[in-house]
Amino acid sequence: DAGVIQSPRHEVTEMGQEVTLRCKPISGHNSLFWYRQTMMRGLELLIYFNNNVPIDDSGMPEDRFSAKMPNASFSTLKIQPSEPRDSAVYFCASTQGAETQYFGPGTRLLVL
């Protein structure tokens, strides 16, 4: 089992640029979560998908953030335009039903 796969692992970009983070959940898992981790705010849930449908996006910070899940094996989190305060580690996690969430290695984003 490959686990949750995220790409890129590191991203450095300039303010105003579009950033796209990618996630491949564990095969067979029907729920996917995007989290953001910062020193100041800890781990925050951004959005939750179930069967490819966004169920809870109350954690998405603002309209600059958007997430999609076009199929069961792929999700994207996009930031447009990016700002320095978006610098963080972004994690994707997946699970089957109400079982334990399994996390990917994260994408470390730095916006200059």
Partner 1 sequence: GEDVEQSLFLSVREGDSSVINCTYTDSSSTYLYWYKQEPGAGLQLLTYIFSNMDMKQDQRLTVLLNKKDKHLSLRIADTQTGDSAIYFCAEGVSGGYNKLIFGAGTRLAVHP
The residue ranges that bind partner 1 (CB under 8 A) are: 4, 31, 42-43, 45, 48, 50, 55-56, 91, 93, 95, 98-106
**Exposure string over 47-74, b if 16+ CB within 10 A, otherwise e:** bbbeeeebeeeeebeeeebebebeebbe
For residue 61, the 8-state DSSP code is -
CB of 57 to partner 1, least distance (A): 13
* The residue to which tokens 């997430």 are assigned: 67
Cβ proximity to partner 1, 14 vs 56, nearer residue:
56
Is the Cβ of residue 3 or residue 16 nearer to partner 1 in the bound state? 3
Q: CB-wise, 13 or 50, nearer to partner 1? A: 50
